[in-house]
Structure 1
């Protein structure tokens, strides 16, 4: 609980002057609210006297009541603005911090946490924090002010009647407290079920084509239904408790009115209470019940919000891959690859793996070279390039950029000089042009867009689109073919310069003629100082300075095209088939 309160204090302290102003106006709101019943009492007692001499006094009370009502509107509005606005700002700040933190994590985190679970945390958990820092603090202040001022005013009018009123209040509060314990337990379970359902829904929607092709709708519906029913069960338990608690809180005002009318009516009959005092007392009881009703909502919001804070803290307190490192200054980043890249007995095992994907990989890449990497499916090609581009982190002493160990560099350092066109293509739901220009504003663009379109074999293709480069590609590029997506990804890499460009199987989805054209453009107009090309197309690999052939995570052979024809059975057989 202390860590959660410290978490809230960290974010609310930044907007302390907003909250201070909000609580000042909230105090004025409560003061105005408890002052109004006193003038209602005076007005009714004046009417009860019925003397003509009291007309002016009655009119004065009515004018004061109108003025107080107008002041109440102003101060109540200002109190809400000054408290709700910082809550929205905290929500914005938290979403930014959470995104930056998630971006700093390595592959192991995303292997263990589904996309749906992460999205659920970003939306639902942060929303819970916003409710605490906004509506929750407002109601908490309202309760503290009301329960300190209103009972005092009631006690002034009649201590005995005040004691009678507190009997149902205490009884209902005990019942509500027991109900909230049950709600907290089921809220935790509901949050877990919601995260699981979000992850499953995103997974099924992303794999909708697979579900259709294998005709497993009933299985998908059954699996989704299980989690959905689990969520429904916990939600209904919370709703059942809430449906019992909320009517109790909602009818507390009516219960108090019955107590006040019965007991206070006897006092009026005996002459110890006036009609005006009884009316004012009923008004005070209404002011007392509203914050007590709000207490139920505050406790619900607090327990939901604290569950969300626990979930957020697991992300925000986790260290990112580069949390303990400082990025190099720009001038050092530019010199990172001036002496090339050296791999010394590189061995790598995935965090959740039980065997090494790469074993004893050693070779050197000099500036200006074009390197090929090939091998069977599962031989470790993608693992190797993901180490070189900083996506995966090896143990120290195995990979060096010049004389600097790659483990000492941040991802920002590595990707300032290394660019990768992955085989896992991703296009944003935007125009073709904006997908190509993505990220270029942070670098000096050296080629015009039309030149990039030509070199990536897109120029002629775009003439078939209705709006050419302004055409929307849809979610994840769903409007395009695999070859078109590959070429747009390549164009994105060519658009802005880099020291090292890694192309991971970028020719797999294009036809032979397009492949020849793209290879010629790559080698005639080098888009980067150093190139690493991952491919099983020998027509590409025979143009490299040397090629590394991987087999089960080890180097089977390394050398030029002619050397590999003699040394590697895989390379030679692949060349004979493609020839």
Structure 2
């Protein structure tokens, strides 16, 4: 609980002057509320005393009541603005910080946590924090002030009647406290179920085409239905508790009125109270009932919010991949690839694996070189380039940028000089132009945009779109083919000038003619300074300075095209197969 309170204090302290102003106006709100019943009492007693000689006093009291009522509207509105507004600012700040934190995590985190689970935390849990720092603080202040000033005014009128009113309040408080304890337990269960449900829904929606292809609608529906029922049952248990606790709090005001009418009525009959004083006491009881009713909502908000904070803290307290690494000075960052990359005895095992995926890999990439990587499926090609671009971290003493150990460099600094076009292309639901210029903070340079569109073999197809570069690609680029998405991704990498461009099997999604054009524009014409190309196409690999052949995570061979034809069985086999395929096409 202490850590959660510190978490809340960290954010609320930034807006302490907003909250201070809000509390001041809240004090004025409560003071005005408890002042009005006194004038109501005087006015009613004046009515009871008759018209003669009381008209001016009566008019004066009515004007004061109207003035206080108008003032009450003003101060109450200001108290809510000054408290609710920082709550929204905290929500915005938390979402920004959580996004930054999530972006700093490595592959191991996302292997264990689904997208739906993360989205549920960002939306539902942060919303709980907003409710605590807004409505929760307002209601706490309102309850504390009302439960201190209002009973004091009631006590001044009649100590005994006030004691009668306190008894049902204490009984209700203990019943509500027990109910909230049970509700917290069920809220934890509901939150866990909601995260699982969100994960399944997002997974099934993303894989909708697979579900349709294999006609497994019933399987998907049953999976969602199971979690949906669990969520429903947990929500129903919470509703059962609320259906008992909330009405109990809501009817507390009616219980107090019954007590006041019975005991206070006897006081009026016996001459201990005037009609005006009884009315004043009822007005105070009404003021007291409202914060007590709000107590139920506050307890609900706080117990849900505290559960949400626990969930948020699991993310915020987790160390990011680069948290212990210092950012390079701008001068060093620009010269990071000046001497190239050196790989020495690289070994890598995935966090959930039991054996190395890469074993004893050693080579160097010099500025200006084009390096090829080839091998069978599962030989470790993608793992190797992900170690080079900082997405995977193999450990100290294995990869060096010049004389700097890559293990000490932040991923952001590595990727400032290394651009990667991966197998899994992702396009944002935006225009083609914005997808290509995504990494640039400046406005799109039309000349540069046209140049990278041409070099990525997308110029002719772009002309076919009615809106050209402003064409929306849809969610994850659904409006485009696999080859089109690949080339837009390639154009994005070319638009962002880096020192080293890594192409992970980019040519596999294009036809032969497009492949030749891309090879000429990117490889032969040196569209970038240095390049690493993963491919099994010999037409690409023969253009490299040297190619690494991987087998079972080990370097089976390294050399240029002619050398590999002599010493690598795998390279010789794929070269022979591709040559036979081309010969067959020419005959046809």
- TM-superposed deviation, 1:525: 2.9
Q: What is aligned with 1:234? A: 234
Q: CA deviation at 1:466?
A: 1.8
Secondary structure (helix, strand or coil) at the match of 1:170 reads helix
What is the rounded CA distance, in whole Å, between the counterparts of 1:429 and 1:304 in structure 2?
34
Structure 1 Cα separation of the partners of residues 23 and 496 of structure 2 = 52
Q: Which whole-Å deviations, capped at 9, do the CAs of 1:377-407 have from their partners, x for residues lacking one?
A: 1110000000000000011111111111100
Contact 1:432 1:488 (C-alpha < 8 Å) held by counterparts: yes
Deviation at 1:495, TM superposition (A): 1.1
Q: Give per-residue Cα distances to partners, 1:476-520, cap 9 Å, x unaligned.
A: 000000000000000111112110000111111111101101111
2:284 aligned residue = 284
- Cα deviation 1:124-182 (Å, max 9, x = unaligned): 11000000000000000000000000000000111111111111111111111111111
Of the structure 1 ranges 373-382 and 567-576, higher mean CA displacement relative to structure 2 is found in: 567-576
Q: What is the CA–CA distance in structure 2 between the aligned matches of 1:440 and 1:93, rounded to whole Å?
A: 24
Task: Summarize the alignment of residues 107-118 of structure 1 with structure 2, pairs less than 5 Å apart.
Answer: 107-118=107-118
The CA distance in 1 between the partners of 2:495 and 2:5, in whole Å, is 48
Q: Tell me how far apart the structure 1 counterparts of residues 442 and 324 of structure 2 sit (CA, whole Å).
A: 24
Structure-2 separation of matches of 1:465 and 1:446: 17
Structure 2 equivalent of residue 301 of structure 1? 301
Question: In structure 2, what is the Cα distance between the partners aligned to 1:521 and 1:545?
Answer: 17
Alpha-carbon distance in structure 2 between the residues aligned to 1:171 and 1:2: 28
- Which structure 2 residues correspond to residues 262-281 of structure 1 after superposition, within 5 A? 262-281=262-281
- Structure 1 residues 81 and 260 mapped into 2: Cα distance closer, same or farther (>3 Å)? same
Partner of 1:209: 209
Q: Is the 8 A contact 1:445 1:495 kept in 2?
A: no
CA deviation map 1:3-28 (0-9, x unaligned): 00011011000100000000000000
Mapped pair 1:249 → 2:269: no
Q: Deviations over 1:524-556 (max 9, x none)?
A: 432321100001111000110000011110111
Deviations 1:413-453 (A, max 9, x none): 10111000111100010111111111123799796211111
Question: Is residue 463 of structure 1 aligned with residue 463 of structure 2?
Answer: yes
Report the counterpart of residue 88 of structure 1 in structure 2.
88
Deviation at 1:340, TM superposition (A): 1.2
Matched, 1:12 2:9: no
Q: 1:532 aligns to what SS in structure 2?
A: strand
1:522 aligns with 2:525: no
Give the 3 Å change call, closer, same or farther, for CA 269–327 of structure 1 in structure 2: same
Matches within 5 A, 1:60-459: 60-441=60-441, 448-459=448-459
Q: Is the 8 A contact 2:437 2:444 kept in 1?
A: no
**Rounded Cα–Cα distance in structure 2 between residues aligned with 1:446 and 1:260:** 79
Q: After the TM superposition, which segments of 4 or more aligned residues of structure 1 sit over 3 Å from their partners?
A: 442-447
- Contact kept, 8 Å, 1:253 with 1:285, in 2: the verdict is yes
Contact 2:548 2:555 in 1 (8 A): yes
Paired residues of 2:524 and 2:543 also in contact (CA < 8 A): no
Instruction: Give yes or no for contact 1:180–1:300 (8 Å, CA) kept in 2.
Output: yes
- Distance (whole Å) between structure 1 residues aligned to residue 446 and residue 490 of structure 2: 15
Question: Structure 1, unaligned stretches of length 5 or more?
Answer: none
| Distance apart, 1:573 and its partner CA | 1.1
Distance 1:564 1:135 in 2: 71
In structure 1, C-alpha distance between the alignment counterparts of 2:362 and 2:466, rounded to whole Å: 50
Secondary structure at the aligned position of 2:392 is classed as: coil
1:249 to 1:26, Cα distance in 2 relative to 1, 3 A = same
Residue pairs, 1:475-514, within 5 angstroms: 475-514=475-514
CA distance in 1, matches of 2:444, 2:153: 71
Q: Determine helix, strand or coil for the equivalent of 2:338.
A: coil
Change (3 A) 1:446 1:558: farther
Between the aligned partners of 2:60 and 2:516, the Cα distance in structure 1 is: 95
- Secondary structure of the residue aligned to 1:53 is coil
C-alpha displacement of 1:523: 2.3
CA distance in 2, matches of 1:30, 1:212: 61
Distance 2:423 2:446 in 1: 25
Count the aligned residue pairs.
579
Distance 1:121 1:523 in 2: 45
Distance 1:178 1:452 in 2: 66
How many angstroms apart in 2 are the aligned matches of 1:467 and 1:444?
16
TM-score by length of 1: 0.99
- CA contact 1:443–1:497 (8 Å) conserved in 2: no
SS at match of 1:31: helix
RMSD of Structure 2 on Structure 1 (CA):
1.2
Does the 8 A contact of 1:443 with 1:496 survive in 2? no
Hey, what's the Cα distance between the residues in 1 that align with 2:383 and 2:509?
21
Gaps of 5+ in 2: 580-588
In the alignment, the residues of structure 1 paired with residue 394 and residue 445 of structure 2 have an alpha-carbon distance, to the nearest angstrom, of 32
**Whole-angstrom CA distance in 1 between matches of 2:523 and 2:352:** 39
TM-score (norm 2): 0.97
Whole-angstrom distance in 2 between the partners of 1:170 and 1:390: 61
